[in-house]
Chains A and B, each alone.
Chain A
Amino acid sequence: MDVDEPVCLPRLSRIAVCGGTHGNELPGVYLVRDVLKLQRRASEGEEDDGEEHTSMLTVLSNPRAVQQCRRYTDTDLNRCFTLATLNGPTSDSPPYEVLRAQELNTMLGPKGGPGAVDLVCDLHSTTANMGLCFIAYSDCDWICLHIFKHLQRRMPDTPMRFIHLGISGKESYSLDSVGKHGFAMEIGPQPHGGVRSDIYAVMSAGVRHMLDWVGLFNSGAVFEGGWVDVFTLVKNIDYPRDSKTHNITAAIHSHLQVCPCRNVRIQISSLEVDKLTSSPQTQATIFFKLHFF
């Protein structure tokens, strides 16, 4: 197969930008408040030719946790989006976040169904010194990979990485898995409960450039293929703990900078919007090369 031949994908008509999935991660909370400015941006790149325009939803995912400035009130919302939790029977008094996940699935999904939004961008902040990270399940979602490449070009001074979780669609559990395409945008270091202007500026620029890319894609631009370095999760490492109390008995050493990740380079095909049909289309089989570092 000629990897220079563009892959055609349906336009991204409906996009969701979500903040406050964790209620104490404030940059995303403040960013989704700026609704009108972001919406204006999304439709700027498009011609006024009578065709459908992009609609953008901004969502405050966990309003109760935001109000209390807590990560969650009963259970972590960002673990409630498995198909089992979304579609399964609820108990007599289900956790708040389970009900909220089901509401969000109705609003943005249903997950796996044809009516789901085309793209979910879920905004997070972290206390870790991670810079800007895309976190995605798939290493072959060309939309997410191309958006990432676009941000890298537009924000060369921002340390930026793509983390691939390596979990199958069936096991996916987070909000971004509800859309047809989706990723989490995670930025740090940012203490919980506060907002740093430098972190906010990076998140705001990242979302703005993402929306620019969507506008360009929907207008028919062709995006060249190429190589993308991604980090694949190998293992989660817990703190050393006391066997009886389970309390932490050691802290991260001051010399440690990053968690162990395997770095993988992926070749992505060039991409353009499929203008011929608006119905979902299966992707052509793509050959890609993996180079391990």
Chain B
Amino acid sequence: MGEPRSQVSSLLSVCDSTTTSQPDGGGGDVKDVKTQPHLNSEAGNFSTGASAAFSVSTPPPSTLPGMSFHGSTARLSEARRVAIFGGTHGNEMSGVALVNLWIKNSDDIQRRGVDIKPFIANPKAVEKCVRYVETDLNRAFTPENLSASGGDEFPYEVRRAQEINRMFGPKGSPEAYDVIFDLHNTTSNMGCTLILESSKDHFNLQMMNYIKKAISPASCLVLLNEHPLLKYSTCRSVAKHAVGLEVGPQPQGVLRSNIFEAMRVILKHALDFIELFNEGMEFPPCTVEVFRVNERIDYPRDANRNIIAMVHPNLQDCDWEPLNPGDPMFQTFDGKTIPYQGSCTVYPTFINEAAYYEKQQAFVTTRRETLAASSIRKA
């Protein structure tokens, strides 16, 4: 017993360099690499012939608004309006504390040429220190909810979603904010995780690459949720570029100083990237390792839907480590092991997130992938 093996380790001694030229450290076994003509020499790090989970995907030329290609460099609009959301879930304390700090004193988030707005997304939930009051705000930004008309008959969070959409959107329109950072904590041992909603968002991919290099050797992984059934309508999806930041492990309703610092450092680098981009810096093509959401795994339950087993001790706290077919997955209350019976190795995350018991999720499985990002520059 004792503290879980920490994945938020040497983040406080991060290197402050803004270099973007280091190759994205691949590592791991690779098979069937599909080389593409436009990938740069960094891809030469990958070797062929061994087993399992890498594949290299090339995003096709994108039709995202505000983006054009000049040669191989994508020209994107400046990111002038940026928001930082804390308290989307009212009991995830790091974001609440950071946003309140920056509302009171915005010195650390000032950047040339950018308007940065810190914002408490769900103030009623924050006041009660609960995840949500009536319904999960971070699932509420569906097209149906945002376009619905009416008043008090809607749950509080649906009305709040409409208000946020008016302030920072409308979602999908040219007036929407350029970037929203959405700050979350998890009880899972995920370390620092950036959450990406589109594999075609070159701006976000370049930002995440920048952040990963800046904090190296500390690590920050990227979770990609593009799964047609498992993706959901987040608060941050109102903006043109949605960036989720999840840091754990931290219990709900609790503030841990190391988790708070890790989140603060990542945001610092993210804002630095935006400032550099707006000043005209060109970011060369790069590859970004991501973990793509694959499947949701629920707890074993009885006929009354009660949980009858817990995450196995061998899997507990092992976010991002390979889970092979036959490996222990759950342990019943009387000690029996239930193994993972998938057909291939996966990388589980959000392991034993307390807030997901009600969402029927013990963990999600992911597959490792490398995405390629075009060179980008402001238009």
Contacts and interface: CB of A to CB of B under 8 A. Distances in A.
Interface of A: 30, 33-34, 37, 69-70, 127, 129, 131, 158-159, 189, 191-202, 204, 247-248, 251-254
Contacts of B253: 192
B354 A196 contact: no
Contact of A127 (B254, B257, B310, B334): B254
B14 to A, nearest CB: 16
Given A194-B352, A200-B310, 12 more contacts: A30-B333, A127-B254, A191-B187, A191-B354, A192-B251, A193-B187, A197-B310, A199-B1, A251-B97, A251-B256, A251-B260, A253-B257
Number of contact residues on B: which range applies? 20 to 34
B372 to A, nearest CB: 37
B255 A196 contact: no
B257 A191 contact: no
A193 B357 contact: yes
Contacts of A192: 251-253, 354
A159 B252 contact: no
B310 A251 contact: no
B152 interface: no
A197 B254 contact: no
Contacts of A193: 187, 252, 354-355, 357
B57 interface: no
B316 interface: yes
B60 interface: no
A248 B352 contact: no
B251 A191 contact: yes
6 contacts: A70-B130, A193-B357, A194-B352, A195-B310, A196-B310, A202-B1
B61 interface: no
B1 A197 contact: no
B333 A200 contact: yes
Report which residue of B1, B130, B255, B357 has the largest number of chain A beta carbons within 10 angstroms of its beta carbon. B1
B331 interface: yes
A144 to B, nearest CB: 22
Contact of A194 (B97, B100, B357): B357
B333 A252 contact: no
B209 to A, nearest CB: 29
Contact of A197 (B187, B258, B313): B313
A198 B3 CA distance: 11
With most chain B CB atoms within 10 A of its CB, the pick from A192, A201, A247, A251 is A251
Interface of B: 1-3, 97, 100, 130, 187, 249, 251-258, 260, 306-307, 310-313, 316, 331, 333-334, 352-355, 357-358
Nearest to B358: A69
B313 A189 contact: no
Given A191-B187, A197-B313, A198-B1, A251 B354 contact: no
A254 B260 CA distance: 11
Contact of B312 (A158, A159, A197, A202): A197
Contacts of A196: 310-311, 316, 352
A120 to B, nearest CB: 23
Contacts of B333: 30, 33-34, 200, 204
Contacts of B311: 196-197
Nearest to A158: B1
Given A197-B310, A200-B333, A248 B255 contact: yes
B306 to A, nearest CB: 8
A30 B306 CA distance: 10
B3 A194 contact: no
B12 to A, nearest CB: 9
Contacts of B3: 129, 189
Contacts of A34: 333-334
Query: 9 closest pairs, A vs B, by CB?
Result: A193-B354, A194-B354, A191-B251, A191-B187, A127-B251, A251-B257, A197-B310, A251-B255, A197-B331
B324 to A, nearest CB: 19
Contacts of A127: 251, 254
Nearest to A245: B100
